[in-house]
Structure 1
Amino acid sequence: MTIAFVENGVRRQIAVSRIEYLAGEGNYSRIHFVDRGPVLVSYCLKVMEGQLTDFVRIHKATLVNPRHITGVSLGKYRDASIFLSGGRTLPVSRRRVTLISNQLC
C-alpha cells in the first residue's frame, strides 16, 4: 500500500511501511519516516487516520504504525510510552492507555 503527498511541488508516492508515525500540527500532519526526514503535508491527522486504517492513535496528535512499535512501557499512574524501531519514545495519552495496552500487549 502506498500514500501520495506533495513535497516541494512534486507529487510523491511512498510505501506505508516506511512511515514510522504521524504528528498532527493543526490542519497539517508531519509524516515521520524510518529512512528519511519528516515531511509536512496539508492534511489533518483525522484525514490521514482515515487513509491509514491499521495505524494506532496513541494521542490526540499522534498516529503510529504498529509495525514499528518495539515495546510498550506501562507506568503505575496511568501513564504509558511507546518505543519505536527508529529509537523514538512517544507518550500515550491517559485516555488511551487501556485501549493501547489491550491492543498491543
Structure 2
Amino acid sequence: GKSYRPQEEIDRWRARDPIVLFEQTLRTRGILDDAAVEAVRVEVEAEVQDAIDFALASPDPEPKDLYLHIYDAKGASDFDRMGEGAPFGELSIRGTDWASGDA
C-alpha cells in the first residue's frame, strides 16, 4: 500500500523509537548482547503467535459487544441504529447504502 507519510518523517520517528533506543542503551552498558536480544525476539514471537492462535480459534464476537471494555463508548449509539448488512450493519446505518456511494 501507499504510505500517507513522507519517508523522511517515517525515518525521523524510527530514529526516535524508544524500543530501539532502550536496546542501544542496554547494549552500550553491557546489559544486553546479541543472544539476549534473540531470546527476547523468540519469546515475543511465540507470545504473539499464541495470541493469534487464540483469536483465530475464538468465536466471532457479537456486534452488541463492540463497545465493551473501552474507555469512551460515546459512539455506541451509531451501532445501536445499525441493521443487517456488512459485518456490523454499516451498509444500512441511517438508511443509507454506503456501498452504492449514497452518502
Which TM-score band (shorter chain)? under 0.3
Structure index of larger Rg: 2
- More helix by proportion, 1 or 2? 2
Relative to the length of structure 2, the TM-score reads 0.21
- More strand by proportion, 1 or 2? 1
Structure with higher RCO (Cα < 8 A, 6+ apart): 1
